[in-house]
């Protein structure tokens, strides 16, 4: 029992439990009502459980948010033996139950009894979803320079005048107070940032420049940019440039 507990310490990092409509051990979908039973048992325990053909958008975009259930079948002619495995997005085993037995002659009743008995292994686990912490990244300071094209006009009798260097002033932004943590969820063309509710607060779209994203926050359009290892949402309010630091966890 201790080994089960140790192997399940990271359960809280996973938002979803994914139940296949057809387990690998069987030839038919929901054979002996096994998929429906497993989903029911996880639902009853308070997990956020979905079928593999009805996944929410954030899980479709990032399969690593969920653990996939597999059924281990060691049945023989006289006894039904079954247990459950949970695997991450890399097919690595995160948790396994005991292999439970049933001598019921009818297969549906036998698998029902064995799976319910094996599921008792989850009684040792207290689950509370907590998003994974962002891995440390090597942030680079972004320098964007704009050089104007100078048109040189030449005349036969007049030497060209030297071009004076133009100094472009950098707009000073009004900064706002850093708020709560936002969790980055990958979408097809960038990320969406959600709070702990979870509610989508920002959408960030990739550009050709590293660590610079086009961004929207409700009806406000701007950019999200990394500067000195911190993320900022910058936008104009009237003619004033606003800069809001974001606490993003990828």
Chain-wide mean pLDDT for the chain?
Answer: 81
In angstroms, what CA-CA distances link 54 with 16, 27, 51, 62?
12, 20, 5, 14
Verify that 119 and 52 share a domain, yes or no: yes
Q: Is residue 145 part of a domain?
A: no
CB 80 within 8 A of CB 111: yes
Residue 162 forms part of a structural domain = no
For residue 119, the enclosing domain spans 2-124
16 lies in a domain? Answer: yes
Q: Is 139 part of a structural domain of the chain?
A: no
Alpha carbon of 52 to those of 49, 104, 108, 116, 209: distances in Å? Answer: 10, 29, 22, 21, 36
Token pair recorded at residue 220: 């406000």
pLDDT in tens, 176-214: 656 688 988 988 899 999 888 878 899 999 999 989 999
For residue 146, pLDDT beyond 50: no
Number of structural domains, the chain? Answer: 2
65-110 residue pLDDT tens: 999 999 999 988 889 999 999 999 988 888 899 999 998 889 999 9
CB 139 within 8 Å of CB 211: yes
User: For residues 102 and 114, is the Cβ–Cβ distance under 8 A?
Assistant: yes
> What token pair was written down for 34?
């096994």
Contacts of 138 (CB under 8 A, 6+ apart): none
CA distance 82 to 85: 10
pLDDT score for 45: 86
3-state secondary structure of 175: strand
- In angstroms, the CA 80 to CA 95 distance is 21
Q: What is the pLDDT of residue 135?
A: 37
pLDDT of residue 177: 55
Q: What share of the chain is helix, strand, coil (3-state, %, to 5)?
A: 20, 35, 45
Please report whether residue 163 resides in a domain. Answer: no
Q: Is 112 within the bounds of a domain? A: yes
Answer with the one of 124, 146, 164 that is the final residue of a domain.
124
Q: Which of 87, 79, 83, 15 is nearest to 48 (CA)?
A: 15
């Amino acid at each position: 029992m201790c080994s089960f507990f140790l192997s399940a310490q990271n359960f809280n990092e996973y938002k979803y439990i994914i139940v296949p409509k057809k387990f690998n051990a069987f030839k038919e979908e929901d054979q002996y009502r096994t998929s429906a039973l497993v989903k029911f048992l996880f639902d009853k325990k308070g997990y956020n459980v979905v079928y593999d053909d009805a996944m929410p958008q954030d899980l479709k975009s990032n399969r690593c948010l969920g653990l996939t259930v597999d059924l281990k079948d060691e049945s023989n002619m006289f006894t039904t033996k079954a247990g459950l495995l949970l695997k991450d997005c890399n097919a690595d085993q995160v948790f396994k139950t005991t292999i439970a037995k049933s001598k019921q002659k009818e297969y549906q009743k036998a698998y029902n009894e064995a799976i319910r008995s094996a599921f008792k292994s989850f009684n040792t686990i207290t689950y509370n979803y907590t998003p994974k912490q962002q891995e440390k990244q090597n942030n680079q300071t972004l320098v964007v320079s704009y050089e104007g094209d100078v048109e040189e006009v030449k005349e036969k009798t007049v030497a060209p005048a030297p071009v004076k260097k133009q100094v472009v002033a950098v707009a000073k932004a009004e900064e706002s107070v850093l708020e709560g943590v936002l969790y980055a969820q990958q979408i097809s063309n960038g990320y969406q940032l959600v709070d702990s509710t979870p509610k989508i607060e920002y959408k960030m779209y990739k550009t050709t420049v590293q660590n610079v994203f086009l961004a929207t926050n409700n009806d406000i359009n701007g950019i999200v940019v990394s500067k000195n290892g911190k993320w900022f949402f910058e936008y104009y309010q009237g003619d004033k440039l606003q800069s809001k630091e974001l606490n993003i966890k990828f």
